[in-house]
Amino acid sequence: MRITIDQIQDFNKSRESDHHQHFQFLQGQLEEKGVDTEEVMRRLQQFQVAIPSWALGAGGTRFGRFSFGGEPATLEQKIEDVGLIHALTQSAGAISLHIPWDIPQDPAATKQFAGSLGLAFDAMNSNTFQDQRQGQQHEQQQQQQSYKFGSLCHTDAAHRAQAVNHNKQVIDIGVSLGSKSLTVWLADGSSFPGQLNFQKALARTLDSLKDIYSHLPSDWKMYIEYKPYEPNFYSTVIQDWGTSHLLANECGENAYCLVDLGHHLPNTNIEQIVATLLWRGKLGGFHFNDSKYGDDDLTVGAIQPYQLFLIFNELVYGMHKSASDNPSPAWMIDASHNLKDPLEDLMQSLEAIRLAYAQGLIVDHHRLEQAREENDVTKAQEILQECYRTDLRPLIREARLRSNGAIDPINYYREASIRQQLIKNRGLATVATGL
Amino acid sequence: MRITIDQIQDFNKSRESDHHQHFQFLQGQLEEKGVDTEEVMRRLQQFQVAIPSWALGAGGTRFGRFSFGGEPATLEQKIEDVGLIHALTQSAGAISLHIPWDIPQDPAATKQFAGSLGLAFDAMNSNTFQDQRQGQQHEQQQQQQSYKFGSLCHTDAAHRAQAVNHNKQVIDIGVSLGSKSLTVWLADGSSFPGQLNFQKALARTLDSLKDIYSHLPSDWKMYIEYKPYEPNFYSTVIQDWGTSHLLANECGENAYCLVDLGHHLPNTNIEQIVATLLWRGKLGGFHFNDSKYGDDDLTVGAIQPYQLFLIFNELVYGMHKSASDNPSPAWMIDASHNLKDPLEDLMQSLEAIRLAYAQGLIVDHHRLEQAREENDVTKAQEILQECYRTDLRPLIREARLRSNGAIDPINYYREASIRQQLIKNRGLATVATGL
Amino acid sequence: MRITIDQIQDFNKSRESDHHQHFQFLQGQLEEKGVDTEEVMRRLQQFQVAIPSWALGAGGTRFGRFSFGGEPATLEQKIEDVGLIHALTQSAGAISLHIPWDIPQDPAATKQFAGSLGLAFDAMNSNTFQDQRQGQQHEQQQQQQSYKFGSLCHTDAAHRAQAVNHNKQVIDIGVSLGSKSLTVWLADGSSFPGQLNFQKALARTLDSLKDIYSHLPSDWKMYIEYKPYEPNFYSTVIQDWGTSHLLANECGENAYCLVDLGHHLPNTNIEQIVATLLWRGKLGGFHFNDSKYGDDDLTVGAIQPYQLFLIFNELVYGMHKSASDNPSPAWMIDASHNLKDPLEDLMQSLEAIRLAYAQGLIVDHHRLEQAREENDVTKAQEILQECYRTDLRPLIREARLRSNGAIDPINYYREASIRQQLIKNRGLATVATGL
Amino acid sequence: MRITIDQIQDFNKSRESDHHQHFQFLQGQLEEKGVDTEEVMRRLQQFQVAIPSWALGAGGTRFGRFSFGGEPATLEQKIEDVGLIHALTQSAGAISLHIPWDIPQDPAATKQFAGSLGLAFDAMNSNTFQDQRQGQQHEQQQQQQSYKFGSLCHTDAAHRAQAVNHNKQVIDIGVSLGSKSLTVWLADGSSFPGQLNFQKALARTLDSLKDIYSHLPSDWKMYIEYKPYEPNFYSTVIQDWGTSHLLANECGENAYCLVDLGHHLPNTNIEQIVATLLWRGKLGGFHFNDSKYGDDDLTVGAIQPYQLFLIFNELVYGMHKSASDNPSPAWMIDASHNLKDPLEDLMQSLEAIRLAYAQGLIVDHHRLEQAREENDVTKAQEILQECYRTDLRPLIREARLRSNGAIDPINYYREASIRQQLIKNRGLATVATGL
């Protein structure tokens, strides 16, 4: 199913006058403070966040999974779902695939279908943390090696070769779809002291990554993700940004670090890590979600929206205002939908991201730098909080309107009974592949 | 399969002379310091830890599960596995069942079979954190309510009633097997701010627990477990010992708190919680495991063996030496075996538990109290570390020998190729029910 | 020095028209959604937060302290400082004293002076975590016992008696000033395993608290504060709300728990603790601050403003809307001012508190409960975030204006060069007693 | 005061026969397993840990400080104290000075005095985290700039220059004493979001470090310490090993990272960081202590002795057995003595360090690697725990005996009433400079 611009405009009609009143009041307020609202909206319209194919069905925990009706069962249905979100929000113009869950039968057709919904193919994701049940026909031979004890770090060369080859094949599939990057997330690690030789495991991982990197087309990037724990509970080979940074530097200039908001130890200052990587020009990928305890994969902005703003403040500074030379990172939402309708959840995440981005965009960095130079800590805090406390939702709605999106995506979704239609089309019992 | 005393004695024979040499040296050393080694061994021999039925197969994480060969597929096979561990270690004389995974077809026969292996039925465990796929024939009707949004705390009375009734049926099954206690662990909570009315959820949980408690035979105990997070990632209804204690007090004198070592926030002083509950006479159940990050469910003693000793120091004091009136808690190992052979892992856990218990038993509380009275912090630390650093393994082996166990259980297990026999008997592809 | 209403009105004049425009727009917006803005402002005007006497000078860390000019050196100067804050913000109508730092020479005069500035005396604070350099004349004899190894939990009866008597004298001083409550915060604990007998330490603390409680006038309350660590680094006798709750229950109905936002382990769900205590009618005191790592004592709302809102959502529900019977807690800011001007910092804290309170007041609990009953998690989140994202600052300003406060307190403070005047009056080198 | 070899031998006499019995039994046991006990003891004898000059007096917290009698008031007395510890333990053959607290009046004489006690001068420590009360005569001019808002990262060039010059002067003093390294620990950071421009602060810090590095003699090393928080509570410029590693790489080959065990976020896998730095040849300095919550600075081995062993397992492997080319790090104890006699506390720390080192030395890396190659997780754990559980204290005592140390240093210290003599010589009220 698709949502047409006409349908959205019908929905918007009754809400527009109210919206314009709020928008104009806010715009006046902001312009008075020197904010170029048109520029802010232009940037908001350009900002697109990829949706991963595995976030469209119900997630689960090790204790169980509660299914959700109308989950997408095929790659085409996943693209369809992202198309729905994008039509309503105009901010999810890309999908990020996971291999072997999303192997296209006819890449050209898949690419065309996605393009017809305004969607590009963002970073490709490989999977070396699970043993796949069926033989993977796209690979030259049946899987023979288990990833139980690691993949790129494995003590056995045959295991490493299998994992390296899998990544190369993921690149090839990505090339056929027009993707330009590969994300490598490794579960490799150990759950017990003594299990792993840390030095050797890291050296083997570096060698494997270099091998994968050698297969990368020259206009591609490789993102190396880090995570402190889970699914291993004593050590993870790439445990933090420092390790990811070291590996990326060794691989080459097209290798970058990937920050996932949920992949940090308690109390980590993530915004400072973001700033450091931007300073070095090495921030390549960014996974949005929120969490209270660990890698909880909750809706973006559901727990710590102020931290999200602080991170965006660094991103805006690093992308637009500092002397560093960091390319625009690949943005993606990486969440798990155990309790909410995944599409509603993703729309809430997109709204929280845009809000934080807009807050970051209205920060007056000239005034902020001045306060910093004077060590006026009170004023520096006031400047940030002033931006954070301003209600920028009318601006976000206006930017969405101008892109032909819905003023209120979630209410459109509910009023138009989209989930019910998906259930009708796909059934109650489908299960999306994924986590 | 069974292991006979003769087989074990054969195995021990070649190791005995070496063992006796070590044991005698240690015994002399300890007696010189005033330790009554016979009394210590007597207590060690009496100390039995229950094995939960779900810990005998491979565990998993939300990212996947790697099967293990020869997993027990039936209740009888699970009892058989615990019997093997018990024969070798003489310290796992009980099994803890989980309903609906372990419903006995013929309770009398099941009880007799377990008894023939020296096993009793420890606390019964209910399950209201998953929707069961098949109808549960032991319940009067098909399950109709989902536990997706909670069980005992659910907003809907019918859901709560179903969960309460399930617990009552678990008690009934336990009665038929000779169990004397019920453990209630609830996943109830919320993953998003706003989702739950905290006050109402707690009030409803209290009402449900009282209802279950009313069904408890007078010689039974109810254990209320707490946990800060997972599988819910914003709040858990029974988040800490304080909540568990409040609920247990309201339910009645046969309601107790249950401490699981992995169910605490980072850096919690667990030994102090144990002491506090012992002081109030409210420590009812105890789940052993170890962890570095969260509820990692690793082998006992694999990460923080000194903390385990400190906890046992409180347990020994609370059970034997203080004026409080706490009944002996129900001991159980609650771990997940993602990488190791579950039976080997459990034997490592049992060894770590015994070691910590023995270390706790040789603490000279008279000297310790004296150092405390004088605020001689250096000496208090010396007294504890002296006990911890002493190598008590010969004592543990001797106690095991006297109970007809194996001097070295894991090596017996490996030399006798027990896993290979289990695989031969049961196949490679069986999957144990459970987490 | 004092700030007059005339001076404030002069300051406000040029800002009023702009303010009224914003206020009217917001008011219209809120009334449309059914918010009774007059009622919200009435509650905001009534909400007064105490300033502790020790928060008016520069704080420090164990690594050093950087002095601030114009710090108050006497009790009168401290009251004067709170008077300045209150005149500008109209929300700090009380001061909380710390004995022996703030012993009034002439209580009646002190009371009258504070009253002339619109200030009441909030909870009295005792100090048994430091040895005082000079003999404390208000006590019958010189201090002879050191608190190095604890106070109310001390192994030695004479130490405990000294600490109990000190608390009784603090009550007596409080009575003379019109205070109605005592806050007991204990540093008591241990830094090394073995140092303390947990059971005995808790039993002795309970006995000491009961002794203090027996001295409490019938219209007084006693608040028992908890904290997991610092200044002791292994255990703290009252480590969590569960311990505080247990002790308060044993002491009697006028004993309550006190929540300090910084006194929790990483990732604690504080709002749930608040809800639990309100449910039991045992939330007595509340200390505001913010933190990222431990008891950082930062400006309220500087790190986790959304958490603050979630806490206020529970407070509003518990105080106004639930069936529980919790008296209004004593509110206080407990922060340390290492880098900012303390008065500016406190005004930032007060603004953050009011903002979160206002956000909590506009939550439509009827709609929220409905969403909860339906387990509509998406909607429950939307309802809370809608309130949080609305910019309520015009409402807060209006409430302040109506109470004769400044539209913009910090800018008044800066433009009127108040710090410079304080330095001129008091000197650069004064040092406020306190932490 | 000094302790002579004769006095120690007198003390040892009555304990020797008992010791030899234990030692011989252990030696036999170890040799049977293939351990070269003579080689282990040789390494133990060589292993010397520096004592920092500031660890010899009572420490404190921001809440207060409880003095200890007989604290060293002069540099000579500090050296004397380390001499006492070294005489007894034969494992503290170096002192680490802190400037400006320990400026020698006559470096040659100081050097000779230390040498007469068997002590060398380990890494020099600079101080740019406090404003010094008196003018620092060794510097060309009075201090004019405050470190309140940072030192090497400061926004103002004059502040940075002062801090850089201070470090250069510390190097010069070190040269005069025969030290070979400089440790740079920075408190620089921020306590509030917005306060600092992360990118600029890091860039300025790098420039300052390069400037200091340019002053380094060619046979010197510079150690860059990292720490996540405290005394700043929002960000620290060098927050983790990744940042330290990045800076060290930029400075040059004589710049290294320094690991302090207490400077990590909760649950950090420190042993893996150690292994990573050893792999890169960049582990330069090591500060021992223990902690449960933050930078608690407790006695080494008091909280997590198993973690200490795991770290030593990496150190032994990295120093002796891997192909990496890391020079031997500078070892130091960095603890704070709030409750215990500092000298006793340091002797407990030294014992814990030696124990963990000895445990690491007896690990059979050949067998361990074999188990790892086979992914035999159970066996890998068994191998490590076997070493950890073996009571190696007799071996440590024997190594100490052979170096003319005391069999039981703490009991010597107590029986000889050394603290009482220090109090008699120095008085009760002296205060050691330092933290």
Residue of A62, A296, A345 to mutate, testing the B interface (most B Cβ within 10 Å of its Cβ) = A62
Q: Over the stretch A123-158, which tens digit does the pLDDT of each residue have?
A: 999 999 999 865 444 455 556 899 999 999 999 999
- At residue C138, the pLDDT reads 47
- At residue A9, the pLDDT reads 97
Residue of B147, B153, B199, B259 to mutate, testing the C interface (most C Cβ within 10 Å of its Cβ) = B199
| Chain B positions with Cβ closer than 8 Å to A | 59-64, 66, 129-131, 146, 148-149, 187, 191-193, 195, 228-231, 233-234, 266, 291-294, 296-299, 302-303, 336, 338-340, 435
C-alpha distance from residue A403 to each of A19, A30, A88, A122, C172 (Å): 15, 21, 10, 21, 69
* Residue B430 reports pLDDT greater than 90: no
What would the two tokens of residue D249 be? 């790489």
**pLDDT above 70: percentage of residues in chain D:** 96
- Give the gap in angstroms from C-alpha B346 to the nearest C-alpha of chain C: 28
Contacts C199 to B, Cβ<8 Å: 275-276, 278-279, 317-318, 322, 324
Cross-sheet strand order for the sheet of A181-184: A120-121, A94-96, A50-52, A330-333, A283-288, A255-260, A221-225, A181-184, A124-125
Residue B415: how many other CB atoms lie within 10 Å: 10
C-alpha distance from residue C267 to each of A388, B229, B244, B259, C380 (Å): 23, 10, 19, 19, 22
* Residue A227 reports pLDDT greater than 80: yes
Residues 6 or more apart in contact with residue D355 via CB below 8 angstroms: B389, D301, D305, D392, D393, D396
Q: Given B203, B234, B276, which is nearest C198 (Cβ)?
A: B276
Angle, CA of D212, D213 and D214, to the nearest 5°: 90
For residue B21, the SS3 value is helix
Residues 6 or more apart in contact with residue D196 via CB below 8 angstroms: A372, D153, D189, D190, D235, D237
- At residue B67, the pLDDT reads 86
* Residue C309 reports pLDDT greater than 70: yes
- At residue D433, the pLDDT reads 59
- At residue B413, the pLDDT reads 98
Residue A10: how many other CB atoms lie within 10 Å: 11
C-alpha distance from residue D382 to each of A195, B15, C286, D388 (Å): 10, 18, 50, 10
* Residue B210 reports pLDDT greater than 60: yes
Q: How far apart are CA C369 and CA B154, in angstroms?
A: 13
Q: Which H or E run includes B256?
A: strand B255-260
- Which chain C residue has the Cα nearest residue D68? C148
Closest CA to D300 of D332, D264, D268, D328: D332
* Residue B426 reports pLDDT greater than 70: yes
Assign residue D164 a region (left: φ > 0; alpha: ψ between -120 and 50; beta: otherwise). Answer: alpha
Q: How far apart are CA C124 and CA C140, in angstroms?
A: 20
Question: Is the CB of residue D87 less than 8 Å from the CB of residue D8?
Answer: yes
Point out the residues of chain D with pLDDT beneath 70: 133-143, 431-435
Least trusted range by pLDDT, from B395-404, C58-67, D171-180: C58-67
| Chain C positions with Cβ closer than 8 Å to A | 22, 25, 29, 266-267, 269, 292-293, 299, 301-307, 339-341, 344-345, 348, 355, 377-378, 381-382, 385, 388-391, 393, 410
Cβ separation C235–B384 shorter than 8 A: no
Contacts C377 to A, Cβ<8 Å: 339-340
Question: Is the CB of residue C79 less than 8 Å from the CB of residue C113?
Answer: yes
Neighbours of chain D (3+ CB pairs under 8 A): A, B, C
- Give the gap in angstroms from C-alpha D285 to the nearest C-alpha of chain A: 18
Contacts B235 to C, Cβ<8 Å: 269, 272
| Torsion, Cα of C110, C115, C119, C120 (10° steps) | 70
> Residue C143 — pLDDT band, cuts 50, 70, 90?
low
- At residue B322, the pLDDT reads 84
- Give the gap in angstroms from C-alpha A311 to the nearest C-alpha of chain D: 10
Question: Is the CB of residue C351 less than 8 Å from the CB of residue C397?
Answer: no
- Give the gap in angstroms from C-alpha C352 to the nearest C-alpha of chain D: 14
> Residue A433 — pLDDT band, cuts 50, 70, 90?
low
Q: Given A203, A235, A269, which is nearest D239 (Cβ)?
A: A269
- Which chain B residue has the Cα nearest residue C374? B155
DSSP A126-139: ---SS--SS--TTS
Cβ separation C391–A393 shorter than 8 A: no
Residue C24: how many other CB atoms lie within 10 Å: 12
For residue A25, the SS3 value is helix
- At residue D322, the pLDDT reads 84
> Residue A68 — pLDDT band, cuts 50, 70, 90?
confident
Q: Write the ipTM.
A: 0.96
Q: How far apart are CA A280 and CA D8, in angstroms?
A: 57
Q: Are strands A255-260 and B235-236 parallel, antiparallel or unpaired?
A: unpaired
Residue type, B49: V
Quote the distance between the C-alpha of residue C364 and its chain's center: 27
Q: What is the model's pTM?
A: 0.97
* Residue B300 reports pLDDT greater than 90: yes
- Give the gap in angstroms from C-alpha B307 to the nearest C-alpha of chain C: 9
Residue of C191, C232, C234, C235 to mutate, testing the D interface (most D Cβ within 10 Å of its Cβ) = C191
Q: Over the stretch D369-378, which tens digit does the pLDDT of each residue have?
A: 999 999 999 9
Question: Is the CB of residue D335 less than 8 Å from the CB of residue D289?
Answer: yes
| Torsion, Cα of B132, B138, B142, B143 (10° steps) | -40
Q: Over the stretch B153-190, which tens digit does the pLDDT of each residue have?
A: 999 999 999 999 999 999 999 999 999 999 999 999 99
Residue of C151, C156, C191, C195 to mutate, testing the B interface (most B Cβ within 10 Å of its Cβ) = C195
What would the two tokens of residue A126 be? 């490989």
> Residue C284 — pLDDT band, cuts 50, 70, 90?
very high
Q: Give the residues across from D290 on adjacent strands.
A: D298
